[in-house]
A and B are shown apart, each in its own frame.
Chain A
Amino acid sequence: MSDQTPKPEELIQISYRPPERDWMDPALEFRKGNFCYSAAPRHLEYLGLPNPRHWQPFEEDWKLPPNWREIILDGLRDRLRKFRSFRLFMDICVRCGACADKCHFYIGSGDPKNMPVLRAELIRSVYRRYFTLAGRLFGRLAGARELTEQVLKEWFYYFFQCTECRRCSVFCPYGIDTAEVTMIARELLNLVGCNINWVLEPVANCYRTGNHLGVQPHGFKDSIDFAVDDLEQITGVRVEAPINRKGAEVLFVVPSADYFASPHYYTLLGYLALLHEVGLDYTFSAFASEGGNFGLFTSHEMMKRLNAKIYAEAKRLKVKWILGGECGHMWRVMHQYMDTMNGPADFLEVPVSPVTGTRFEHARSTRMIHISEFTSDLIRHGKLRLDASRNDRWRVTYHDSCNPARAMGLLEEPRYILRHVVNHFYEMPENTIREQTFCCGSGSGLGTDENFEARMRGGFPRASAVRWVKEKYGVNLVTCMCAIDKATLPPLFEYWLGPGAVEVAGVHELVGNALVMKGEQRSTDLRGEPLPAPAQQEASHA
């Protein structure tokens, strides 16, 4: 948090009164704390992306190619032809405004161009000017405006102030999805080299090493080995965690933060304990060492380029199916894009749980399942010995991450698990969970430090809902299944609710705590905190 960040009581003084001037006249101020810095040219060069150069958004000269307007308009025409969604969303909005106060960035900033409708109008106005007769003839009267450098800068500012969370599309009477508009707008910006480092550095890392953090194979092995040792210290059980092992039944793909960041790390310990306990024959891959995909925040093409390694590794390692860890946008890619982009996965088999025999029919084509699907099935069949009282120091709520909620519908699996591994579970208000869940404010590659103010503004609705459960039920732990959430919710809650008010954990961390392992000897939970005094009652069988 920089010194310039306003205090919460200042930040909350939000004016929703729109300015006097017409929104069609761009009026932009790149205020520190509200935008992200440009991508370093070496990343663009490594990826073969256009117009690598040194520049910054707050500078006057963006060093655009001389024919930048032509490039953008050609790119726009091309995408209108390729995406029915985009073409339709350019045409059918009636500006009813139902989406306005559904956007966390609008709620937290009051900036009218953060209303989803106006965010899309930024590009619609250009579409009308160059691609509709009325716009060409009547200009502003037909809602059309010229594409100027100022307009392009506005695009950059506002399309990197949308987290592609899709909450607005739940409320739109025509299902207009701002995530789709933002994805295409970012593709267009990338055509002239306007992108941010917090997205492109992970992309370049991922392309080269296999994961966003740039962890190389030996580093990956060290991290996993370290976790195995740690888990042995905590539980007294030595688990196997094979890497790049051919012939395993399952390839396990997790977001890289799980083995490199905290509190993600405790979730990794949870996975390791669980998969050992049920004896799953699996392998990690040091190449497919990233479930996340920041290509999603760059372009459809980049998403495909990064995603290709998942099936490629599954094929090379000759596994039968793929298991995926706790991550948000990763699951948008795995669920809605992977099979189409890089399938068919005809070299894999329909996932079957070797423990319960359950055939995961709903994944019969993509052949990849979410770990919460796997775990809830285990619990349902009574395959796990769980002692929920080990999590008794937590009063728990669950934050749905945007993508599994609104691009998949993975709502009940985590709740089913939580109800079996904790004794105190409380929901946040219904307008803030499940398909109406609020974003952490830092998704889609915006979870960095330089835009801290924007993140705190965008995360305000979520923080407000957490404050509510905290005051009402004494909740002290927010669980989630998203690597970006785990990284960005702690500072968010510290900012709005104060230091130490609530902690953040993955669902499988709590599974790992509650799991009674064969031959275990443990006195602490996965965070090293003492377990509650051994309960006399029999550990409950689910």
Chain B
Amino acid sequence: MYLIHALAAVLLLAAAGYLGGSIDGLRVVTGVAVPYLGILAFLVGLGWRVARWALSPVPFRIPTTCGQQRSLPFLKPNRLDNPSTTLGVVGRVALEVLLFRSLFRNTQAEVSPPARLIHSEAKLLWLAALAFHWSFLVIFVRHLRFFLEPVPACVMALHQLDGFFQIGAPVLYLTDVTIVAALIYLLGRRLADARVRYISLFTDYFALFLLLGIALSGVWMRYFTKVTIPEIKQLALGLVTLSPTVPAGLAPLFFMHLTLVSALVAWFPFSKLCHMAGVFLSPTRNLANNNRAKRHINPWNYPVKVHTYQEWEEEFHDKIVAAGLPLDKE
């Protein structure tokens, strides 16, 4: 149900982009207004989202400790999975962000008759997630050659590296293969695994279809219809330098690609995709487990009603005396 809705929504967006690139009067809208609006929504939305997170207090230091604490000198602490220093925290968050440390732990639990719980390896999700995110990053950086003139050496180097195997003409990018494969796996898993299908919402399918739409339209332009690069670069540079022009001769497919990307960035801050920023702020990961060594301050700590010793002694006075326990003033 959600699946159909999400597919329909992405197809609609794609059709709108294609149409907007086919009709003369609309190209300015699809080529200039739409990407500007997308970027604006992204910057404002993400800024607002991150600010709202960052401005909320962290009343308690609640790291999830995933290894030995630092306590006694003869017990080796786990500096990354249970960091007690800022450096350790940086390492932990870096491992999380760059290598998906926690997802790497993933296992699968199954009940085997008669009554045994079996854990088995389940690293595919981690692998697919890593493949998708890293491919996305490389593709993003590669795209900078459209937006920058001269193109920085590192971008060109990445472009060379990505096409290392020199397959076909134009040269096949590895990341184009991995991102499509990873997205298809992630979508397939969402559908094939009954419990993941059960928890999936419209937004989960929408994200996958949107990303697939972007990747496939990009692949189609590069390897099949072979759009003209100079015009695209002209448009991209125009957008970046705030002097937008829409050169003639751009294919409708390109406008479709651009519209889908704009939709992605505009939707990004208001969806689960904001996990990209959120992962850095997660209090169970970005705080040091030095709770007993360094006092954490709760900015809204307020006095509470307590039962004092004096009240307690008053209530149980006779019993305290009868039991031969000392009273406070003794």
Is there contact, CB below 8 Å, between B64 and A166? yes
Residue B170 at the A interface, CB < 8 A?
A: no
Residue A392 at the B interface, CB < 8 A?
A: no
Is there contact, CB below 8 Å, between B82 and A409? yes
Residues of B within 8 A of A93 (CB): 272, 275
The listed residue (B49, B196, B197, B320) touching A286 by CB distance below 8 A is: B320
Residue A517 at the B interface, CB < 8 A?
A: no
The listed residue (A141, A316, A406) touching B64 by CB distance below 8 A is: A406
Given contacts A82-B300, A172-B102, A431-B119, contact A336 B68 (CB under 8 A): no
Q: How far is the CB of A440 from chain B (nearest CB, A)?
A: 15
Given contacts A97-B199, A363-B292, contact A174 B275 (CB under 8 A): yes
* Assembly CA distance A143 to B71 (angstroms): 44
Q: How far is the CB of B200 from chain A (nearest CB, A)?
A: 6
Given contacts A308-B306, A411-B67, contact A496 B115 (CB under 8 A): yes
Residue A115 at the B interface, CB < 8 A?
A: yes
Is there contact, CB below 8 Å, between B71 and A115? no
Task: Provide the B62-86 mask, 1 if CB < 8 A to any CB of A, else 0.
Answer: 1111111111101111100110100
Residue B165 at the A interface, CB < 8 A?
A: no
Given contacts A85-B284, A115-B199, contact A169 B64 (CB under 8 A): yes
Given contacts A217-B320, A431-B119, contact A377 B59 (CB under 8 A): no
Residue A506 at the B interface, CB < 8 A?
A: no
In residues 273-330 of chain B, which contact A (Cβ within 8 Å)? Answer: 274-275, 278-279, 281-285, 289-298, 300-301, 304-309, 312-313, 315-316, 319-320, 322-326, 328
Given contacts A23-B199, A362-B71, contact A221 B283 (CB under 8 A): no
Is there contact, CB below 8 Å, between B298 and A174? no
* Assembly CA distance A410 to B275 (angstroms): 30
Given contacts A101-B108, A112-B198, A210-B312, contact A94 B272 (CB under 8 A): yes
Is there contact, CB below 8 Å, between B62 and A344? no
* Assembly CA distance A361 to B71 (angstroms): 8
Residues of B within 8 A of A216 (CB): 316, 319
Q: Is the interface of A mostly helix, strand, loop or mixed?
A: helix
Given contacts A98-B103, A243-B325, A376-B75, contact A175 B285 (CB under 8 A): yes
The listed residue (A121, A341, A413) touching B199 by CB distance below 8 A is: A121
* Assembly CA distance A395 to B270 (angstroms): 55
Residues of A within 8 A of B110 (CB): 101
Residues of A within 8 A of B198 (CB): 18, 23, 112, 118
Is there contact, CB below 8 Å, between A143 and B201? yes
Residues of B within 8 A of A312 (CB): 306, 308-309
Residues of A within 8 A of B297 (CB): 340
Residue tally, chain A, CB below 8 Å to B: 120
Is there contact, CB below 8 Å, between B60 and A340? yes
Residue A134 at the B interface, CB < 8 A?
A: yes
Given contacts A92-B278, A339-B291, contact A175 B106 (CB under 8 A): no
Residue tally, chain B, CB below 8 Å to A: 104
Given contacts A92-B274, A180-B62, contact A18 B102 (CB under 8 A): no
Residue A538 at the B interface, CB < 8 A?
A: no
Task: Provide the A309-337 mask, 1 if CB < 8 A to any CB of B, else 0.
Answer: 10011001000000000000000000111
* Assembly CA distance A81 to B58 (angstroms): 10
The listed residue (B119, B272, B315) touching A429 by CB distance below 8 A is: B119
Residues of B within 8 A of A344 (CB): 295
In residues 182-222 of chain A, which contact B (Cβ within 8 Å)? Answer: 207-210, 216-218, 221-222
Q: How far is the CB of B124 from chain A (nearest CB, A)?
A: 11
In residues 401-441 of chain A, which contact B (Cβ within 8 Å)? Answer: 405-413, 416, 429, 431-432, 434-436
Is there contact, CB below 8 Å, between A461 and B304? no
Residues of B within 8 A of A132 (CB): 270
In residues 450-491 of chain A, which contact B (Cβ within 8 Å)? Answer: 460-461, 464-465, 467-468
Is there contact, CB below 8 Å, between B109 and A107? yes
Given contacts A88-B283, A101-B108, contact A412 B68 (CB under 8 A): yes
Residues of A within 8 A of B309 (CB): 287, 309, 312-313, 316
Residue A64 at the B interface, CB < 8 A?
A: no
Residue A14 at the B interface, CB < 8 A?
A: yes
Residue A176 at the B interface, CB < 8 A?
A: yes
Residue A71 at the B interface, CB < 8 A?
A: no
Task: Provide the B110-139 mask, 1 if CB < 8 A to any CB of A, else 0.
Answer: 110111110100000100010000000000
Residues of B within 8 A of A244 (CB): 325-326
Q: How far is the CB of B216 from chain A (nearest CB, A)?
A: 21
Residues of B within 8 A of A23 (CB): 198-199
Is there contact, CB below 8 Å, between A176 and B69? no
Given contacts A95-B200, A407-B65, contact A141 B60 (CB under 8 A): no
Given contacts A80-B56, A243-B325, contact A340 B295 (CB under 8 A): yes
Is there contact, CB below 8 Å, between A143 and B284? no
* Assembly CA distance A245 to B307 (angstroms): 20
Given contacts A308-B306, A406-B66, contact A416 B328 (CB under 8 A): no
Residue A102 at the B interface, CB < 8 A?
A: yes
Is there contact, CB below 8 Å, between A218 and B323? yes
Residue A305 at the B interface, CB < 8 A?
A: yes
Residues of B within 8 A of A380 (CB): 72, 74
Is there contact, CB below 8 Å, between B293 and A174? no
Is there contact, CB below 8 Å, between B125 and A98? yes
Is there contact, CB below 8 Å, between A408 and B109? no
Residue A382 at the B interface, CB < 8 A?
A: no
Is there contact, CB below 8 Å, between B56 and A87? yes
Residue A30 at the B interface, CB < 8 A?
A: no
Given contacts A16-B195, A221-B323, contact A465 B304 (CB under 8 A): no
Given contacts A88-B283, A98-B125, contact A173 B307 (CB under 8 A): no
Residue A70 at the B interface, CB < 8 A?
A: no
Residue of A nearest to B76 (CB): A412
Q: How far is the CB of A192 from chain B (nearest CB, A)?
A: 20
In residues 89-126 of chain A, which contact B (Cβ within 8 Å)? Answer: 91-98, 100-102, 107, 112, 115, 117-118, 121
Q: How far is the CB of A433 from chain B (nearest CB, A)?
A: 12
* Assembly CA distance A472 to B177 (angstroms): 47
Residue A365 at the B interface, CB < 8 A?
A: yes
Residue B100 at the A interface, CB < 8 A?
A: yes
Residues of B within 8 A of A169 (CB): 64, 284
* Assembly CA distance A187 to B229 (angstroms): 58
Residues of A within 8 A of B316 (CB): 209, 216-217
Residue A57 at the B interface, CB < 8 A?
A: no
* Assembly CA distance A100 to B197 (angstroms): 12
Residue A366 at the B interface, CB < 8 A?
A: yes
Is there contact, CB below 8 Å, between B319 and A464? no
Q: How far is the CB of A111 from chain B (nearest CB, A)?
A: 11
Give 5 A-B pairs besides A174-B278, A286-B320 with Cβ atoms closer than 8 angstroms: A17-B194, A91-B272, A208-B315, A360-B71, A461-B117
CB-CB nearest 10 A-B residue pairs: A409-B69, A175-B284, A92-B278, A409-B65, A218-B323, A18-B198, A366-B292, A92-B275, A464-B117, A84-B56
List 21 A-B residue pairs with CB atoms under 8 Å apart, sorted by A's residue number. Answer: A9-B114, A12-B115, A16-B195, A18-B198, A87-B53, A91-B49, A97-B199, A101-B108, A112-B198, A134-B270, A174-B279, A218-B323, A222-B323, A243-B325, A246-B326, A340-B301, A406-B64, A409-B65, A431-B119, A436-B105, A465-B117
Residues of chain A at the chain B interface (Cβ within 8 Å): 8-9, 12, 14, 16-18, 23, 48, 80-85, 87-88, 91-98, 100-102, 107, 112, 115, 117-118, 121, 132-134, 141-143, 166, 169-177, 180, 207-210, 216-218, 221-222, 243-246, 286-287, 300-301, 304-305, 308-309, 312-313, 316, 335-337, 339-341, 343-344, 358, 360-368, 373, 376-377, 380, 405-413, 416, 429, 431-432, 434-436, 460-461, 464-465, 467-468, 496
